[in-house]
Structure 1
Amino acid sequence: MTDQPGEWSAGTAEDLVVDARALGIKVSPRTVTDYVEVGLLAPPLYRKTTQRGSDRRIYPPDQRRLFYELNAAKLRSPLARVPHRTMIPVVLYVWCMNDAVVPDVQARRALRTWAQSVGIGSGPRRRSTAHKVVTQFADPAATTGQRRLAEQWIRDGEESRRPDFDNIADALSTIASPWRARGLPEIVRGFGPAVAPITTDQAVAMWELQLQVNEILGFEGVSEDLLRRAREEHRDNWQGYQGVRADWASQAGTMASIFELPADQEQAARQQVNGFVTVLGNTLGLARPTFTRAQARARARIH
């Protein structure tokens, strides 16, 4: 975060508006309300100071500074208009790493916004994502047609937000073991670092798990208590992961980018949130049945 102003006090919505305008950004009290609704700010605190009424609600110093910093980040963005949802990962990153700034009620709302916006993107971005995934898993012998089919299944799944995981898994296993098309048996390959190889079925299971969790988060279906429990587990896992990720990246070949620490702050925040969502899937009891289905898919192809 920036260092200006040096001292922060609690403030009303009007105070936050003044802070933003000091940066040269025109906002209104309605903007502050919008931030609360999507989880970029916590609900303001009630103040009862008279017997018959109350003062205007206030935002604690950390929340006031957060509002200032989010607007300062907007100024640094190359986009002419920065949608609220694109700033959500930053708020969730703060919540994952720090207990003092973002309260659980705000994080729950931010996770709802995150879940509802996952997969929203342009056609070129979906094509780029699909091409990258296929490049990571494709054997050099995979044909152009096999690669295109796999990319199409991935793009269609992202666009519809209803992926056909069976067909995606089958298409990825085909490009990873392209001799299947000639009637030869599949060779199940592990990708990435030798200590933590990833098969195509496991990768698809991970996507399926994240989709299930996001569907629950999209209507705030996880209690604050459970979110805190998952966060503690995520913090332990994340700390351990930081100690091995450089070594894993050096072993991962075409999948090295998955394990590398992003230089871009936004991508680093997204990595953190995706990691938390995966851990939450395990906390919710969704991981085991999802990966069991993936194993069953793999066995069905072999037999």
Structure 2
Amino acid sequence: MAGLKEEWSAGTAEDLVKDVQDLGVSIRSRTVTDYVEAGLLAPPLYRKSTQRGSDRRVFPPEQRQLFYELTRAKLRSPLPRVPHRTMIPVVLLMWCTDDTVVSDAQARRALRTYARNAGISSAGRRRTTAAKVVEQFAHPLATPRQRRAAHAWIRDGEVTRKPNWDAVADALSAVASPWRARGLPEIVRGFGPPDAPVTTDHVVAMWELDWQVTQKLAVEEVSEAVLRRAREEHRDTWRNYQTVRSDWASRAGTMASLFDLPDDQEQAARQRVNGFVTLLGDTLGLARPTFDRARTRASMRRR
């Protein structure tokens, strides 16, 4: 969001509605309330009146401008209707990178909305996602049956939102090491850049970690203090990641797309927020037991 302009001042919900009328947008005050509930805006501030009671609550200048800029962003979208949840990553990106506009309390509510909508997609997109994942890991000798099994377990996890991690990991390892089906021992393959290789078990562990974090965020189980601590760690790791991103991409082979920096602002915001959620899993102490389970899973297959 651009720097705060002098003409922006505190305003009521009705003022926010009037602001966007200049953009040709006609909305009701109820939309502002919906934004607050979703975490796109912080709750308006209480004002003590000189009379008995209080005056109407007002939004600070930063939040008033935020509402205006979010409305402009919706107008730039090619979609006829832009759900509130699709704008959440933009607000969370602002919180990740700046301390002056989005409060911790607002970010916590926005993360709740983000988590409750994680994994929601159309049947066509689920099929496309599953196919892309399987092709990234599949060995040329992987059979159609092995590929179909991996597709099915990934799609089932997205549909039910309760993935069977052991089954997903086993199915992906089967397409990566297809000779297992003939009774031969598994050869664990590393993917990505040589100095940061990942295995199918590592990838599934990352998915499981993110799933655990979103379960907690969906019920606002993570305190603001923990979110702040994770944000500071994320800022450091993100800066370090930018210094190696292009080098890793150049040496990642078929996994190079994982290190792409999206041109689209909304997709770039989503990538940054996904990175924060993963790091939050480590802050919450969920990472170590999750990766321990992944290692146990892998060792059991090789017995």
Q: What is the TM-score normalised by the length of structure 1?
A: 0.98
Which residue pairs with 2:260 in the alignment?
A: 260
Q: Secondary structure at the match of 1:158?
A: helix
CA distance in 2: counterparts of 1:74 and 1:268, whole angstroms = 16
Question: Are 1:17 and 2:17 matched, yes or no?
Answer: yes
Structure 1 residue 53: Cα displacement: 2.1
Please give the residue correspondences for 1:229-240 in structure 2 after superposition, counting only pairs within 5 Å. Answer: 229-240=229-240
Structure 1 residue 11: Cα displacement: 1.1
Which residue pairs with 1:228 in the alignment?
A: 228
CA distance in 2: counterparts of 1:169 and 1:36, whole angstroms = 39
CA distance in 1: counterparts of 2:108 and 2:23, whole angstroms = 29
CA distance in 1: counterparts of 2:4 and 2:200, whole angstroms = 48
Structure 1 residue 49: Cα displacement: 2.8
CA distance in 2: counterparts of 1:51 and 1:114, whole angstroms = 41
Which residue pairs with 1:203 in the alignment?
A: 203
Which residue pairs with 1:104 in the alignment?
A: 104
CA distance in 2: counterparts of 1:170 and 1:148, whole angstroms = 13
Which residue pairs with 1:81 in the alignment?
A: 81
Which residue pairs with 1:183 in the alignment?
A: 183
Q: Secondary structure at the match of 1:140?
A: coil
Across the two proteins, how many residue pairs are aligned to each other? 303
Maintained 8 Å contact 2:4/2:65:
no
Which residue pairs with 1:276 in the alignment?
A: 276
Question: Are 1:241 and 2:241 matched, yes or no?
Answer: yes
Structure 1 residue 19: Cα displacement: 1.2
CA distance in 1: counterparts of 2:128 and 2:4, whole angstroms = 38
Query: Which structure 1 residue ranges, 4+ long, deviate > 2 Å from structure 2?
Result: 1-7
Question: Are 1:170 and 2:170 matched, yes or no?
Answer: yes
Identity across the alignment (%) = 70
* CA RMSD of superposed structures (Å): 1.3
Structure 1 residue 6: Cα displacement: 6.4
Q: What amino acid maps onto 1:58 in structure 2?
A: V
Q: Secondary structure at the match of 2:113?
A: helix
Question: Are 1:49 and 2:40 matched, yes or no?
Answer: no
Q: What amino acid maps onto 1:140 in structure 2?
A: P
| More deviation, 163-172/21-30 | 21-30
CA distance in 2: counterparts of 1:249 and 1:155, whole angstroms = 27
CA distance in 2: counterparts of 1:40 and 1:128, whole angstroms = 30
Q: What amino acid maps onto 1:102 in structure 2?
A: V
Which deviations, in whole Å up to 9, do the C-alpha atoms of 1:267-297 show, x marking residues without a partner? 1111111111111101111000000000000
Which residue pairs with 2:289 in the alignment?
A: 289
CA distance in 1: counterparts of 2:187 and 2:112, whole angstroms = 40
Which residue pairs with 1:114 in the alignment?
A: 114
CA distance in 1: counterparts of 2:129 and 2:5, whole angstroms = 40
Q: Secondary structure at the match of 2:267?
A: helix
Q: Which runs of 5+ in 2 are unaligned?
A: none
CA distance in 2: counterparts of 1:2 and 1:225, whole angstroms = 27
Structure 1 residue 191: Cα displacement: 0.3
| More deviation, 22-31/226-235 | 22-31
Q: Which runs of 5+ in 1 are unaligned?
A: none
Which residue pairs with 1:34 in the alignment?
A: 34
CA distance in 1: counterparts of 2:3 and 2:227, whole angstroms = 31
CA distance in 2: counterparts of 1:268 and 1:286, whole angstroms = 26
Q: Secondary structure at the match of 1:231?
A: helix
Q: Secondary structure at the match of 1:193?
A: coil
